[in-house]
Structure 1
Amino acid sequence: MALQLWETAKEAIVAYTGLAPATFFTVLAALFAVYYVFSGLFGSSSDHHRHTDRDFEEEQMPPLRPPVQLGEITEEELKAYDGSDLEKPLLMAIKGQIYDVSQSRMFYGPGGPYALFAGKDASRALAKMSFDEKDLTGDTSGLGAFELEALQDWEYKFMSKYVKVGTIKKTVPVTEGGESSGEPSEAAIPRDADVAKPTEDSEGVKGDETLPNVGAN
């Protein structure tokens, strides 16, 4: 059976190629050898480029440093950690809690899809899934139940994935007249020196007016 198949194959090779079976297989082997050589050359070149690009990226990106606890900082101070300075960690806040997101620099670092959230408390933007500048704030007033639930999901993700390194310091608004404590201010309390006292002249006049006119009697 195998012999019959071989004879049939030889007849087909001669009929379709015009070559003897031995010549046909020699040419076929040579073609495979050429293909192997060229694929090896181009494959090695592409692998080399991939390794070079990866090495370049590793050189550009500094190694991750252990998260540093910052404690309580203001929103203005948080802006310094937006990823523009590679010597500083990449930070982001949600609901007043600051997290180190340096490990996700490709997302939150410069050029990343969520870079505008870095260095800010983006609670409102995350709740609304908004990229509007006016929503880049920690103010969550007026949000609906669905948006608050979405914000809660974001907070759970941050808590489980990133290290909390601080909190945002809340500024207490001061009214124009100072803190209202229910007590009169010092300026409102009259000092002894400011209380009007009768002078000697006025006392004398008053005495003349009250004394009886002795000469008339």
Structure 2
Amino acid sequence: MQPAADTDVERKGTVFDVTGNKAYGPEGSYKVFAGKDASRALAQSSLKPEECRPEWDDLSDEHKKVLNDWYTYFSKRYNIKGKVEGATNM
């Protein structure tokens, strides 16, 4: 058996290692987020691939709170692999 490939999800310029969570794998319900900055999609509770993009500063205060809640959740649950160089929405 081959080892699982690393899976990363980015939030607000931070890259989280979600490798151990099958939900982000090829057959998982959150596969749309894997390897992308999913900030906007998470803020809007969207699973649409076109919403997986880093721009979130134009969102409503309510959506920004949702994104911050997700960021806190990921920070407590997953290891940080790094930061995206040049990310402006942190």
Given that residues 6 and 19 in structure 2 are in contact (C-alpha distance below 8 angstroms), is that contact kept between their aligned partners in structure 1?
A: yes
Q: Using the alignment, how far apart are the partners of 1:108 and 1:133 within structure 2?
A: 13
| Percent identical residues | 34
1:197 equivalent in structure 2: none
**Cα offset, 1:133, TM superposition:** 2.4
Q: Deviations over 1:64-100 (max 9, x none)?
A: xxxxxxxxxxxxxxxxxxxxxx4x4111100000010
Query: Equivalents in 1 of 2:41, 2:59: separation in Å?
Result: 11
Segments of structure 1 that go 5 or more residues without pairing to the other structure are: 1-58, 63-85, 172-217
1:130 maps to 2:46: yes
Show the counterpart of 1:101. Answer: 18
Q: 2:86 aligns with which of 157, 170, 195?
A: 170
Aligned length: 87
Query: How far 1:143 sits from its partner (Å)?
Result: 0.6
**Once the 2 structures are TM-superposed, how far is the Cα of residue 142 of structure 1 from its aligned partner?**
1.8
2:15–2:82 CA contact under 8 A, matched in 1:
yes
SS state at 2:66 partner: helix
Query: Larger radius of gyration, structure 1 or 2?
Result: 1
Which has the larger strand fraction? 2
Question: 2:67 aligns to what?
Answer: 151
Q: Aligned letter for 1:98?
A: V
Compute the TM-score of the two structures, normalised by the length of structure 2: 0.88
Give distance in 1, aligned partners of 2:46 and 2:65.
Answer: 15
Structure ranking higher on relative contact order (CA contacts 8 Å, 6+ apart): 2
| Secondary structure in 1 matching 2:80 | strand
Question: Superposition RMSD on alpha carbons, in Å?
Answer: 1.5
- Give the helix-richer structure, 1 or 2: 1
Structure 2 distance, partners of 1:101, 1:133, is 18
Match for residue 9 of structure 2 among 92, 117, 132: 92
User: Which SS does the other structure have where 2:55 is aligned?
Assistant: coil
Structure 2 portions without partners, runs of 5+? none
Instruction: Calculate the TM-score normalised by the size of structure 1.
Output: 0.38
Runs of 4+ deviating beyond 2 Å: none
Equivalent residue in structure 2 for 1:111, among 27, 38, 42: 27
Among 57, 60, 71, the residue aligned to 1:141: 57
